[in-house]
Structure 1
Amino acid sequence: MLVIGAVVAVIYVFIPHDESATPTQRVDYKVELATASRAASYPVLAPQGLPEEWKATSVRYRGADDEHWHLGFHGPDGKYVAVEQTSGKPGPFIADKTQEAADTGKTERVGGKEWKRYEGEAYDALVLQENGATTVVTGSGSFKSLVKVAEALRPAPADQA
């Protein structure tokens, strides 16, 4: 019993482990993007040309009355950034997706468009309303990261597969 205990102790000490680290799983969102772009009543946006360090980690599209596109990323700085879009009521949607961040009254010029800046305790955000949709780029990432994702947003072709 003493020998087994010693072996277990040696293994525990010398084999690296980090219980606090959770591996980030990359997801492929091409199929969901193609589906959403065909079904949505607005131009569905997704980033193009982000560096490989940006890992897509979550994707979903919900149609019908509560139309909503979501694409989440794990950024190179380890922070979360998401693209959220809806054709629904902007107020409740923005509050929900930004975790109650407040409109600062400031704007950020990104890609030739004026995005509203929101700041909050948990998430900051950039918000754009056009083409019958509200687009929110939000998360725990810095404004620099939010701008990087917003700059990369492009409409997905409806015939993409």
Structure 2
Amino acid sequence: MRGRQTVRDMILSMLAVGAVGAGAYVFIPHDTKGDRILPVDYTSSLASARRAAPYPLLGPADLPAGWKATSVEYKKDPAGHANWHLGFETPTRQYAAIEQSDAARVDVLKNAVPGGQADGAAKLGAQDWQRLQGDRYRALTVQTGSATTVVTGTATYEELAVLAQSLK
């Protein structure tokens, strides 16, 4: 008789745990259709970073509809180099970012576009930008004063060019 009580108790315990789990699933909100990427407002971070940066820090002005800022950061690395990052989701749901730093150009490119190899050039406005194709990301890059500016991501070169041309 003792063996049956143990099996019965175990089954009742499993049913109780299952009921709690099912209740949690039903009553905890979850959205499988919605957008999981939360936009960020980068305007105050951009203004603060511009005051702190030792180089002319660039940010987008007048991006077309559909561009959503997703990440922003300004920090100094252990060597004292100022690093600016502003990430976006493009209208085609790809990733694009502005990376700007006064670290050595080769280091900036190595970090922003791992495995990056020259892939031609692009004339955007009055500036000549170098194109790079990396292992995962592609990029447009230009030297702006003492800083290296990289517009990088999984977006097409055309979308990256839109972001690059918006920089002021």
Match of 2:38 in 1: 25
Residue in structure 2 matching 1:137, options 147, 151, 160: 151
How many Å separate the matches in 1 of 2:32 and 2:116?
33
Residue in structure 1 matched with residue 59 of structure 2 by the alignment: 46
Identity %: 35
The match for 2:92 among 51, 55, 77 is 77
Deviation at residue 46 of structure 1 after TM alignment: 0.8
Deviating beyond 6 angstroms after TM superposition, the runs of 4 or more aligned structure 1 residues are: none
Whether the aligned pair in 2 keeps the contact of 1:80 and 1:141 (CA below 8 Å) is: yes
Normalising by the residue count of structure 2, what TM-score does the alignment of the two structures yield?
0.77
Q: Work out which of the two has the higher radius of gyration on C-alpha atoms and give 1 or 2.
A: 2
| CA contact 1:39–1:63 (8 Å) conserved in 2 | no
Using CA pairs under 8 Å that are at least 6 residues apart, name the structure with larger relative contact order, 1 or 2. Answer: 1
User: How far apart are 1:22 and its partner, in Å?
Assistant: 5.7
| Higher share of residues assigned strand | 1
Determine which of 76, 81, 88 is the counterpart of 1:63.
76
- Number of residue pairs matched by the alignment: 142
Change (3 A) 1:41 1:76: same
**1:32 Cα offset (Å):** 0.9
Gaps of 5+ in 2: 1-14
TM superposition shift of 1:84: 0.4
Please give the alpha-carbon distance, in whole angstroms, between the structure 1 residues aligned to 2:82 and 2:134. Answer: 25
* TM-score between the two structures when normalised by the length of structure 1: 0.80
Q: Partners in 2 of 1:141 and 1:121 — Cα distance?
A: 14
Aligned-residue RMSD, C-alpha: 2.3
- The separation in 1 between residues aligned to 2:84 and 2:38, in whole angstroms, is 20
Q: By percentage of residues, which structure has more helix?
A: 2
Match of 1:152 in 2: 166
SS in 1 for 2:44: helix
